């Protein structure tokens, strides 16, 4: 079997890449380890930067997002039992964010690929990449319950298979540098069947740790608590979660948190990670396969999309002109944006969480940073500009 670009992973990066390549009439095959039902139900990110919204629109997959997503024009920061708003449009020249679940973006992209006759294969296993340092890399895999291996010959391979995928592991360690930061806390997240108690995404700093109120729809709230990363979700019955949320989110003005049935809950570790470069021979890494951010800045899915926007243009340029300039620059171009998002995500995380070794001096520094961020037009604008996403280019 042959295709132009073999793509491993049907997350936002792999599906968007396949969709963008198709617009250039470039063939691709997407290989996904999980079932379609599984990837379409996997609840993860939910904040789309303006640039991601624009790209989905420009490429014809934005309709349902506009029908069902929620445009937000700011966020709230809470500390010292008071709430402060950061308004986005006036600080960023009219830009905003869209709340629309990652699983909905994935559904829209799968539907678009299949409607256009795209080749997306679910439930494949044991994907291997060979000869990616040659001009014709080969992907091999098993399909369904068959024990036969299928070979897929390609011009390029895109490793879009997330943090636990096979792509990054296939590259010899001597060929890249890894940058890490592990955080000494995790996020306990719940999905609850209740209308959100705040109009906007609300980030809260307290002495007991961080809390976040977000939403997936006008009827479904998403709430998070900073917890020990090794804590067991069994230690957190719903009552304890709601009590802790009430305590951390409390403010002195009139406001209350409304409870509802918990639909899902889990604890996620927090880390920052970058691998450089994003290319080895004809294998190109994109999205979580190459970099991870803590979710505090809502950047993970947006970076996956911005990586493949750069990669699709570079691949198209190669087919169009035979020039490898774009491919040669892919890693440097994509990493510039990745590192900006790394810094922003680390900064938000450091400002809003309690660290186990924090002393009273550190607490005063965090509060000073929070006061400055909401009081200074320049500091608010910096947060807003990073949150809605820097312009491409
Ligand atoms: C629990 C959780 C909550 C998150 N919350 C947020 C948030 O609030 N905001 C935010 O911006 N980001 C968040 N993120 C991060 C965001 O979801 C990711 O950055 C985003 O999914 C990256 O997209 P991707 O396509 O690169 O990788 P993924 O979405 O991980 O997709 C990779 C795909 O590859 C498949 N795959 C893996 N291995 C193989 C293999 N060997 N063969 C074939 N297929 C394979 C996987 O099944 C998956 O479908 C969260 C992540 C997690 C895990």
Residue 87 domain flag: no
Identify whether residues 173 and 308 lie together within a single domain. yes
Structure tokens given for 24: 């250039």
DSSP code for 2: B
If asked whether residues 342 and 361 sit together in one domain, one would say no
Q: Is residue 169 part of a domain?
A: yes
Please give the full DSSP string across 12-28, using - where no structure is assigned: HHHHHHHHHHHHTT--E
Specify the 3-state DSSP secondary structure of 279. Answer: strand
Assess whether 335 and 377 both reside in one domain: no
Residues 362 and 316 in one domain: no
17 & 134 share domain = yes
Q: Is 284 inside any structural domain?
A: yes
Strand order in 149-153's β-sheet?
124-130, 138-143, 149-153
Q: How many domains would you assign to the chain?
A: 2
- 393 residues of the chain, pLDDT tens digit each: 999 999 999 999 999 999 999 999 999 999 999 999 999 999 888 899 999 999 999 999 999 999 999 999 999 999 999 999 999 999 999 999 999 999 999 999 999 999 999 999 999 999 999 998 899 999 999 998 878 899 999 999 999 999 999 999 999 989 899 999 999 999 999 999 999 999 999 999 999 999 999 998 889 999 999 999 999 999 999 999 999 999 999 999 999 999 999 999 999 999 999 999 999 999 999 999 999 999 999 999 999 999 999 999 999 999 999 999 999 999 999 999 999 999 999 999 999 999 999 999 999 999 999 999 999 999 999 999 999 998 765
Q: For ligand 1, say whether the CB of 310 is within 6 Å of any of its atoms.
A: no
72 labelled catalytic: yes
* DSSP 3-state of 311: helix
Three-state DSSP class for residue 180: strand
In-domain check, residue 250: yes
Report yes or no on 83 lying in a domain: no
pLDDT computed for residue 393 by the predictor: 55
Q: Is the CB of 300 under 6 A from ligand 1?
A: yes
Residues in Cβ contact with 262 at an 8 Å cutoff, skipping those fewer than 6 apart: 190, 191, 192, 238, 241
Q: What are phi and psi of 47, to 5 degrees?
A: -110, 120
Specify whether 254 is located in the same domain as 284: no
Q: How far, in Å, are 96, 127, 255, 313, 390 from residue 70 at the CA level?
A: 10, 38, 22, 29, 20
Residue 314: give its domain's CATH number.
3.50.50.60
**33 touches ligand 1 (CB under 6 Å):** yes
Ligand 1 atom 8 nearest Cα: 45
CATH classification of the domain holding 213: 3.30.9.10
Catalytic-role residue among 203, 205, 280, 330: 203
Clarify whether residues 224 and 303 are in a common domain: no
Give the residue numbers spanning the domain of 343: 5-73+96-179+271-348
Note the pTM of the prediction, 2 decimals: 0.95
* Pocket flag, ligand 1, residue 10 (CB < 6 Å): yes
In a domain, 140, yes or no: yes
Catalytic annotation on 299? yes
Same domain for 149 and 215, yes or no, is no
């Amino acid at each position: 079997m042959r295709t132009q670009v073999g793509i491993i992973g049907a997350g936002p990066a792999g599906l968007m890449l396949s969709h963008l390549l198709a617009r250039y009439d470039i063939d691709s095959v997407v290989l996904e380890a999980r079932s379609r039902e599984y990837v379409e139900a996997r609840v993860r990110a939910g904040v789309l930067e303006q640039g991601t919204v624009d790209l989905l629109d420009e490429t014809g997959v934005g309709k349902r997002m506009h029908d069902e997503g929620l445009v937000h024009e700011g966020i709230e920061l809470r500390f010292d039992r008071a709430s402060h708003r950061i308004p986005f449009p006036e600080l960023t020249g009219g830009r905003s964010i869209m709340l629309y679940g990652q699983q909905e973006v994935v559904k829209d992209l799968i539907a678009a690929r299949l409607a256009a006759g795209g080749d997306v294969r679910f439930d494949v296993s044991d994907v291997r990449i060979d000869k990616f340092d040659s001009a014709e890399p080969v992907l091999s895999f098993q399909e369904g319950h068959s024990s036969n291996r299928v070979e897929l010959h390609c011009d390029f391979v895109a490793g879009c298979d997330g943090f636990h995928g096979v792509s990054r592991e296939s590259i010899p360690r001597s060929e890249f540098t890894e940058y890490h930061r592990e955080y000494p806390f995790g996020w306990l997240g719940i999905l609850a069947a209740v209308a959100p108690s705040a109009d906007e995404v609300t980030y809260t700093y307290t002495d007991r740790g961080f809390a976040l109120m977000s939403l997936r729809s006008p009827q479904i709230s998403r709430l998070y608590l900073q917890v020990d990363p090794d804590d067991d979700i069994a230690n957190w019955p719903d009552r304890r979660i709601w009590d802790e949320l009430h305590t951390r989110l409390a403010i002195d003005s009139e406001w209350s948190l409304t409870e509802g049935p918990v639909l899902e809950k889990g604890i996620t570790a927090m880390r920052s990670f970058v691998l450089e470069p994003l290319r080895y021979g004809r294998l190109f890494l994109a999205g979580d396969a190459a970099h991870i951010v803590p979710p505090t800045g809502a950047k993970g899915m947006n970076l996956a999309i911005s990586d493949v926007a750069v990669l699709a243009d570079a691949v198209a340029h190669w087919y169009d002109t035979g020039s490898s300039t774009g491919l040669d620059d892919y890693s440097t171009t994509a990493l510039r944006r990745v590192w900006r998002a790394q810094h922003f995500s680390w900064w938000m995380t450091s400002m809003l969480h309690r660290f186990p070794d924090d002393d009273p001096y550190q607490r005063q520094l965090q509060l000073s940073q929070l006061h400055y961020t909401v009081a200074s037009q320049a500091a608010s604008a910096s947060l807003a500009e990073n949150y809605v996403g820097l312009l491409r280019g």
